Structure 1
Amino acid sequence: MVTETLPPHPPLAPEFPMARGCPFDPPPELRRIQHEAPVSRVTLWDGSTPWLITRYDDVRAVLADPRVSADIDRPGYPHSTEGSATRSSRVKLFITMDDPEHAAQRRLLTSDFMVKKMEALRPRIQEIVDGLIDDLLAGPRPADLVREFALPVPSLVICELLGVPYADRDFFHRLSKTLVSRETTAEQGAAAVAELTGYLGDLVDRKLADPGQDVLSRLATGQLGTGLMTREQIASMGLLLLVAGHETTANMIALGTVVLLENPEQLDRLRATDDPKVVANAVEELLRHLTIVHGGRRRVATEDLEVGGQLIRAGEGIIAASDIANRDGAAFPDPDALDLGREARHHVAFGYGVHQCLGQPLARVELQVVYSTLYRRVPTLALAKPVSELGFKHDMLVYGVHELPVTW
């Protein structure tokens, strides 16, 4: 009797996202994949198996390739969660469109986020930061730096820029948290989108009747008033700017503070300088090191293409893992070290290509002001509990800490 030896089953694609080891580093499994199979399949929450791109050069190539689509309505698009998959049927944001639609909507906002205009906001951002530090120092210890400082800074700034009443912050913070949670169900996601776009739609109506000097007023009078955009389109654009405008920077402020307190020699370098170029460079290194958008940039191939020697077929999903790409030793020597003197401006924390973050000039100014002010004004700032006891946002699409108890 002849016994046939069957070929071994192909290994199952690992689940994505993956568990972290050190809270400041990408998952160890991502490092293994980057070294051994830099373009390979992973398994998502819905059982789909998109391609994971892990090397820096490959990530940039994919994000700049016109054969790769950001359109969430295309079959094969690798949605992050059930809630995000459902939201695509309720509201479509310009960052999840392809050109020419993407470019047309993005152009409407380009002037609002130009580097020169964001630099003009620096004195006001400094005033906001100083005022919140005054309040922090006058309050009780320990204090939650997230609630008292990290979240209010970008929330105040984006509210003033958009024309959203800051008094409504509890409302939009609650809905934003739902929208960026990995645990949000389809029903919860749809309800949050409906509630927030309804609120912003009503605000657009008020801006049209009584415009101010803010982004929503400009869009309402210049687009809605002339029939170029609908009320719903402006509300959807406002949703993106409001949520992204405070969630990302708030998490960078808090998580950056934790990692600096854990690296006192690097914190001393930052605290000791008054050189804006040194501060700006430190911000870029912290953005690279932490890469808080830790679920990758999601795309789908529209044509067959080769990435890192691997053929990706049209219709297959792609995840460009920017967090591990920013730890690629081929692009950043000694990549796991936090080195505030490193030239890191070419990182991909803001994405790459036509869809790179529109608000990055604002985020940079906010972080430069915060990182150059907080630690100098509060030189004895310290964690009020060990890092091991902090609640890190493994459950969120934007990484950070839920709370940050500090003392001084």
Structure 2
Amino acid sequence: MDLIIKNISNLLTCRWDNKTPKCGNDQSDISLIENGYVYIQGDTIIFAGDDPEFNSFIKSFPAGDRFEIDALGKTVVPGFIDSHTHFVFSGSRRNEYEMRTAGESYESIANAGGGILNTVTAVRESDEDKLFYISENRLRNFVRYGTTTIEAKSGYGLDTENELKLLRVINKLAKSNKFELDIIPTFLGAHDVPPGIDKNEYIKILTNEMIPTVTIGKLAEFIDVFCEKGYFDKNETIEILSYGVSHGLVPKLHTDQFNSIGGIEAAIKTRAISVDHLEALNSDDVIKLSEYNSKENYMIATLLPGVSYFLDISYPPAKELIERNVPVALATDFNPGSCNTENLQIIMSLASAKMKMKTDEILNAVTYNAACAINRQHKLGSLSEGKQADLIIFDCEDYRDILYHFGVNMISHVIKKGKVIHEY
């Protein structure tokens, strides 16, 4: 049955060219339509426009069974895309959270054997069925706050057996989950170095064993590395990402979270699709990103302000990046250690209040630009004819209330592939 969403007070299509991200002043282009209509057939948007355009369209469109949602006094936006998560894991690090509130830092806890390695132990003790069950249950929280597409990283296995186990679970969730969400797998074997093994030896395992096995099994689309002091340096990052690229994986990068150690240079060298975190990004590297994006390339700066809030560290320089024409996306970085939330609306509020991003910039950062960060802008991220019908209906007449009225979930409907998957 076809679906019509009618009388939409504010329809934010976020349209663009479906090729390049929005940057600079264009990051504020949300293509707002007042008194809008959306016509969905199956899982595809057939029409998105204003009242006069719809009246002309519907006259020439064959009649049939149609279901209508009246969105009078409401706002419709593209489904949110969370382009950086670690949502497949087991165990909890609530004890570490208590340690941090007592004054310990994330880095000191990690140096004492906690942090990522704590979760690695829990994952290694869990079978695939358990990981699938607890991870699928987390999807409900993503959905209720408007997320319809999720990037998911491995990285809590840190050996071939368990990294492959995580990727198999991610792929199983991608093929079959109760909400039909799009889930995009990323291989993050270089998240940390496991205990009891030399780093150089582990890099050999990554490049000679894990990466070829991942690509032969078609278990991941992207490859990621944590480029940070105490983890992987610039040259090691380039080596690992380059092996991934040679095997057909698209590079991403965790970098400049606590220290600036050459991660931006590594990202440019390997032509990464996104650089994520950037809490410690310096002005020189902002210029490097700007110059890279000014050519026939793009690299998304994916900012994770929930981490800054949760760890009480500095926020990324969002305004400087946008002013320098670097395209910005926002994501949760949902994980058990440094940002334990599936709620992109919180991230949007932090981007507004703490990074001073404009409402329009933020909405593009969780829709169209986020789609660019996972190479899905041809299919997702905007409400355009021919694109997948993923959208959210907010119970507010003015779209600016999504951020202005913070802390309240005003979503009335979440629609994925033309189906209502959440209704309040």
TM band (smaller chain):
under 0.3
Higher relative contact order (CA 8 A, sep 6+): 1
TM-score (norm 2): 0.24
Give the TM-score normalised by structure 1: 0.24
Greater helix share, 1 or 2? 1
The structure in which a higher percent of residues are strand is 2
